[in-house]
């Protein structure tokens, strides 16, 4: 006979979890998350459709050139983005009910991005004579810089903060579909490597143009003044350190590997890394959809914030476990289908990177979704900088001797460092998401003073 009491208790737990899930993922939030999934499809899955074609047409060496350029040009994207995807999203969420504040926020952030883009492009051009690939292929450099700047100017931060991603998602998806079609039509042989980046640059630029038109339909156009530009930089500075350090052990891994390994090894690593990102990136839209909501709840309704983060932990962790297991088991099949037989050495690298879905899921929910709304920017910056140091140390002492496999282990170790340190800080600060809610309710936990300077509409 089954234990009816145990079954009843289990049914009660499932019922409570389902009710909490429905409370958290209300209609407006679901619409926003679905829109973010469409953008995710455009950014990650559409490029994966072109990967089998590019891997065969460009070959391992040609695709290695593209990966190297994206890794180095990606540093410019990180500079232009400047952490605004988190800091400016947070500000847009708090200014959602004031059009003048949003207009000034747009002017400040766009002005800051323009200044940062000019600095980034100038630095890369100055360094390019000392980089052999760019000396031999200046067309790759030009296309890569255009792609990097266009990516950095994305307005997704603005619409994500307002929890209104539907319009901009449609534009970005449409642009990426056209870009994928352009790659199939125009990229024909290894010498066309630069065209891949040029086509993607045009797609990103058209999406930015559409986003600007949509944004300025509801707020007035304001030209950024120097004071507003520097205000925008102050808004993002608390998370720029985090983005820069993260780029060292994440976006810049292919670039670092290309400094001493042959293009084929870069292609093996880049292929495995992109497949792993596409898999664990399935959880990203949920994270980005919850981020502005949690920022608002932490400031105004902390009891609801605790309920929301608990549901997020369950959903993200379960998703990370399932995705990681699936990636480990299917690694040989994925490499064979997506990249071809010449990418056989990437199978073991992909299996190493199958640890990332769980690690990234925990990092996202504890770090991004919980620490940042409580303004623990400084602590999170230190954790990410530490991860960058751990990554570089491992790469220089051990990883560089094992080519693409060493770089894969370096990335896993860096993400594990972030998870351990983030959980430690949250527990030390008394922000354990699973603790009982105190009687003092919302007054029980104070939010640290913001390191950011609010954007004033009077500028």
Q: What is the pLDDT of residues 302-320, one digit of tens each?
A: 888 888 888 888 889 999 9
List the domain range (segments joined by +) for residue 105: 23-435
What backbone phi and psi angles, to 5 degrees, belong to 135?
A: -65, -40
Determine the pLDDT at residue 357.
Answer: 93
- Compute the residue count for the chain: 459
DSSP state letter for 450: P
33 belongs to a structural domain: yes
- Is residue 218 over pLDDT 50? yes
Instruction: Tell me the pLDDT band of 30, cut-offs 50, 70 and 90.
Output: low
Identify which of 369, 367, 366 has the alpha carbon closest to the alpha carbon of residue 286.
Answer: 369
Residue keyed to tokens 């040989």: 332
pLDDT digits (tens, 9 = 90+) for 366-409: 988 889 888 888 888 889 888 988 888 888 887 677 888 888 99
Instruction: Tell me the pLDDT band of 1, cut-offs 50, 70 and 90.
Output: very low
pLDDT digits (tens, 9 = 90+) for 142-168: 999 999 999 889 888 888 777 776 666
- Is residue 18 over pLDDT 60? no
173 belongs to a structural domain: yes
Identify which of 66, 451, 457, 54 has the alpha carbon closest to the alpha carbon of residue 227.
Answer: 457
185 belongs to a structural domain: yes
Report how many domains make up the chain: 1
pLDDT digits (tens, 9 = 90+) for 51-60: 778 878 888 7
Instruction: Tell me the pLDDT band of 452, cut-offs 50, 70 and 90.
Output: very low
Kindly state the percentage of the chain with pLDDT values over 90: 18
Determine the pLDDT at residue 217.
Answer: 87
Nearest-angstrom CA–CA distance, 305 and 307? 5
Nearest-angstrom CA–CA distance, 274 and 199? 19
- What's the half-sphere exposure (Cβ side, CA atoms, 13 Å) at 319? 20
What backbone phi and psi angles, to 5 degrees, belong to 456?
A: -95, 135
Distances (CA, A) of 222 to 168, 187, 227: 21, 40, 13
Identify which of 117, 132, 150, 128 has the alpha carbon closest to the alpha carbon of residue 43.
Answer: 150
Comparing 440 with 432, the larger pLDDT belongs to 432
445 belongs to a structural domain: no
104 belongs to a structural domain: yes
Whether 118 contacts 47, CB under 8 Å: no
Instruction: Tell me the pLDDT band of 444, cut-offs 50, 70 and 90.
Output: very low
DSSP state letter for 251: T
10 belongs to a structural domain: no
- Is residue 23 over pLDDT 70? no
Tokens of 378: 């400084």
Helices of type H across 339-436: 346-353, 356-363, 377-397, 403-428
458 belongs to a structural domain: no
Tokens of 374: 């409580």
Instruction: Tell me the pLDDT band of 433, cut-offs 50, 70 and 90.
Output: confident
pLDDT digits (tens, 9 = 90+) for 324-383: 999 999 999 988 888 888 888 899 999 999 999 999 999 989 988 889 888 888 888 889
Handedness of CA 163, 318, 436, 430 (dihedral sign): negative
Instruction: Tell me the pLDDT band of 446, cut-offs 50, 70 and 90.
Output: low
Question: Angle at which helices 99-127 and 84-94 pack, to 10 degrees?
Answer: 170
How deeply is 4 buried, as exposed, middle or buried, from its count of CB atoms within 10 A (0-12, 13-18, 19+)?
Answer: exposed
Determine the pLDDT at residue 12.
Answer: 52
Determine the pLDDT at residue 425.
Answer: 93
The chain-wide mean pLDDT, for the chain, equals 79
Comparing 71 with 265, the larger pLDDT belongs to 265
pLDDT digits (tens, 9 = 90+) for 180-199: 889 999 998 888 888 999 99
Instruction: Tell me the pLDDT band of 47, cut-offs 50, 70 and 90.
Output: low
Q: What is the pTM of this model?
A: 0.63
pLDDT digits (tens, 9 = 90+) for 253-290: 777 777 777 778 888 888 888 888 878 777 877 777 77
Whether 105 contacts 92, CB under 8 Å: yes
Nearest-angstrom CA–CA distance, 314 and 186? 45
Residue keyed to tokens 């476990």: 321
453 belongs to a structural domain: no
Comparing 27 with 389, the larger pLDDT belongs to 389
Nearest-angstrom CA–CA distance, 338 and 355? 20
How deeply is 357 buried, as exposed, middle or buried, from its count of CB atoms within 10 A (0-12, 13-18, 19+)?
Answer: buried
- Is residue 105 over pLDDT 70? yes
In our burial notation (b when 16+ CB lie closer than 10 A, e otherwise), range 88-108 reads bbbbbbbbbeeeebbbbbbbb
Nearest-angstrom CA–CA distance, 292 and 162? 8
């Amino acid at each position: 006979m089954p234990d009816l009491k145990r079954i009843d208790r289990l049914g009660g737990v499932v019922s409570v979890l389902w009710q909490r899930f429905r409370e958290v993922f209300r209609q407006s939030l679901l619409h926003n998350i679905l829109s973010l999934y469409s953008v995710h499809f455009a950014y990650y899955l559409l490029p994966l459709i072109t990967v089998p074609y590019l891997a065969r047409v460009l070959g391992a060496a040609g695709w290695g050139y593209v990966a190297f350029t994206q890794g180095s040009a990606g540093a410019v994207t990180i500079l232009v983005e400047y952490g605004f995807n988190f800091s400016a999203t947070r500000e847009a969420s708090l200014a959602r009910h004031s059009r003048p504040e949003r207009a000034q926020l747009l002017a400040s952030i766009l002005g800051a991005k323009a200044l940062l883009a000019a600095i980034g492009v100038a630095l890369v051009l100055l360094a390019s004579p000392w980089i052999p690939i760019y000396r031999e292929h200046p067309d790759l450099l030009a296309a890569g810089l255009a792609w990097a700047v266009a990516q950095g100017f994305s307005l997704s931060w603005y619409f994500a903060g307002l929890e209104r991603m539907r319009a901009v998602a449609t534009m970005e998806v449409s642009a990426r579909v056209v870009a994928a079609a352009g790659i199939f039509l125009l990229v024909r042989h290894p010498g066309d490597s630069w065209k891949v980046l040029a086509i993607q640059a045009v797609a990103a630029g058209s999406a930015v143009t559409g986003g600007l038109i949509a944004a300025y339909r509801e707020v007035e156009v304001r030209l950024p003044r120097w004071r507003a530009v520097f205000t925008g930089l102050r808004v993002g500075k608390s998370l720029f350190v985090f983005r820069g350090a993260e780029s060292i052990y994440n976006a810049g891994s292919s670039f670092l590997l290309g400094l001493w390994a042959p293009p084929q090894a870069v292609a093996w690593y880049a292929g495995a890394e992109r497949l792993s990102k596409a898999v664990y990136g399935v959880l990203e839209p949920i994270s980005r959809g919850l981020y502005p909501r949690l920022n608002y709840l932490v400031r105004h309704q902390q009891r609801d914030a605790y309920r929301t983060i608990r549901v997020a932990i369950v959903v993200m962790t379960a998703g990370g476990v399932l995705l990681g297991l699936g990636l480990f088991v299917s690694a040989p099949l994925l490499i064979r289908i997506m990249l071809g037989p010449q990418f056989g050495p990437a199978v073991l690298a992909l299996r190493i990177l199958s640890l990332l879905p769980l690690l990234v899921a925990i990092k996202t929910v504890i770090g991004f979704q919980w620490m940042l709304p409580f303004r623990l920017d400084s602590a999170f910056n230190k954790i990410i900088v530490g991860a960058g140091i751990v990554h570089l140390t491992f790469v220089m002492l051990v990883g560089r001797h094992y080519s693409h496999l060493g770089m894969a282990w370096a990335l896993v170790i860096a993400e594990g460092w972030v998870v351990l340190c983030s959980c430690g800080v949250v527990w030390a600060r008394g922000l354990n998401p699973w603790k009982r809610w105190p009687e003092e309710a919302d007054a029980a936990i104070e939010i640290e003073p913001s390191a950011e300077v609010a954007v004033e509409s009077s500028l």
